[in-house]
Amino acid sequence: MAATAAGVGGVGVDRAAPINEFRGMRLSGLIQHRISSRMLRVATSSRSSSVVRAVSTSTKPESSKGKRSKVELFKEQSNFLRYPLNEEIMNDAPNINEAATQLIKFHGSYQQTNRDERGIKAYQFMLRTKNPCGKVPNQLYLAMDDLADDFGIGTLRLTTRQTFQLHGILKKNLKTVMSTIIRNMGSTLGACGDLNRNVLAPAAPYTRKDYLFAQETAENIAALLTPQSGAYYDLWVDGEKVMSAEPAEVVKARNDNSNGTNFPDSPEPIYGTQFLPRKFKVAVTVPTDNSVDILTNDIGIVVVSDDNGEPQGFNIYVGGGMGRTHRVETTFPCLGKPLGYVPKEDILYAVKAIVVTQRENGRRDDRRYSRMKYLINEWGIDKFRTVVEQYYGKKFEPFHELPEWEFKSYLGWHDQGDGALFCGLHIDNGRIRGAMKKALREIIEKYSLNMRITPNQNLILCDIHHSWKKDISATLAQAGFLQPSEVDLLNVTAMACPALPLCPLATTEAERGIPDILKRVRAVFDKVGLTPDESVVIRVTGCPNGCARPYMAELGLVGDGPNSYQIWLGGTPNQTSLAACFMDKVKVQNLEKVFEPLFYNWKTKRLQAESFGSFATRTGFDKLRELVENWEALPVGDNLTAHS
């Protein structure tokens, strides 16, 4: 293990100092401008000859001037994410300027206003942590619990990428909150912004070799792709050198430049001045366990083991992504595609090669098209693989066959495999508050428990002695936590983004609206005769960006106006099929007019064991729309509840 300094003391920025000129992805003062036919990528897009991409070196750096997005300029001029954020957080204004608003995302925060408060902009900040695999040390949880009460809105939000969100932080308290997180074994660095986000892995603390290896790999990838310049620590802990131990293989992979991946003299050897074109998401899992929505990530990695359970290597998917823009058909959600297989010792180099391919070729002129899925869609997977192999230095091996995927919730009590237990707790919409928040703190503090956040916004308490189970169960029940059998199956798989009132992109409710929507769906189930042990995967978002991954749901509701949703159908319970848009502009008060004919026909016309999403796809949307448009009421004699 190599000890590395995560912070660099005393590094500031002089506003009068000249900013190094942008030359593709390189700083002109640092790099010899030699053209390599392998490194230079020429845009051959059929869309337009003006498509702008970042290249490692360029013969005509001035040709891209004025064609990059504004955010690219902010990054270039920021001295590796410092300026002007370092000045903006120190002044007395309640908010920060446009450039700083973009840069603070890289530090793990979004500037927001409370949209419920009319007439005045009440500025506040959301902070998001970085927790690879969803791991949360005991010390960090207790600190987050305190910060929510002392500086936030009194709640903790668990996210769909296994992290915490703190809402309601005032600008004057940002540094206190950030430094407290850092000094309590946490970080927010890279939780937002144009770089690798939190790396997902199954949260279950099993001691099986493949689970442990998946989690170790996720942590190593997170370390590999963490920003290195020290700006984060300069701003939030005054340059204090926060020491962390990194595995030697991570340091070696980061520093390796044998295939031209790095900026040798840059404080950011992988990211350079410009970082990535947009957000970048990675997940690691084991065969069958799709608790991580593996196909929705830019890179999806699956452990491949031999017959004795020993991990041997990894299958890699690339190009998943959820975000899109309403009524812009050239934007779309996408599933990851098989790239190939790599032996286990090569995974960091393969991931780095994929990241660099996106860094060098992803679009930087129009952020709507900057995710890696659009690059792969334009090039095709074969060309993409060929380019990645140049940075990887090897050919990918053929993809290994995998068994069917399953969604795993991990709710309830389970054996870890080492004599201890873990307990999965259902948290409605990931929002920890009130009596539940108090009880969790009591348990976590009393027994010094660590925990993990799941990608379905739930919480796992780890390393529980058998003798503690009775007391913990009683405390949880008294606080209102439900046993797995008591949680409606609709709620087990449902997800929603925070949306209103704080998200500036939301056009309608999601988190605040989904409890009522789920009750209404269950009422329709009862009305058409579906039983309590039947369910569909429902996900709700307030805008089309897809943070709750609605395009993988059997029934996705995507905000497209005030109190209005697009309805998406066709996902599968194991999250392996993409939904499609079924109807636009359905008002929230009219949802039953759509739900009732859909669920009645699913009940009466489905094949044996056919899921709702599969039924919708097989039946076809034209036929389903006809059924909805002509629906008046349940046929006579069929208006029976599931309990009749």
For the annotated catalytic residues, the residue numbers are 128, 197, 279, 281, 497, 503, 543, 547
Half-sphere exposure of 143 (CA within 13 A, CB side): 20
Question: What are the tokens at 376?
Answer: 């792969």
CA proximity to 392, closest of 285, 303, 299: 299
Euclidean distance between CA atoms 303 and 301, whole angstroms = 7
Q: What is the DSSP letter of 140?
A: H
Which parts of 419-483 fold into alpha helices (H)?
434-447, 469-479
Q: What is the dihedral of CA 595, 600, 603, 606, to 10 degrees?
A: -90
Query: At a CB cut-off of 8 Å and minimum separation 6, what does 537 contact?
Result: 407, 493, 494, 552, 553, 554, 555, 571, 572, 573, 575, 613
Euclidean distance between CA atoms 583 and 562, whole angstroms = 16
Euclidean distance between CA atoms 594 and 334, whole angstroms = 26
The alpha carbon of residue 455 and the mean position of all alpha carbons in its chain are separated, in whole angstroms, by 8
Q: What is the DSSP annotation of 229-291?
A: SSHHHHHHSTT---EEEE-HHHHHHHH--TTS-S-TTSSSTTTTTT--SS-B-EEEE-TTB-T
Q: What is the DSSP annotation of 111-131?
A: EEE-TTS-SS--EEEEEE---
Q: What is the DSSP letter of 516?
A: H
Distances (CA, A) of 98 to 73, 111, 192, 576: 12, 10, 16, 39
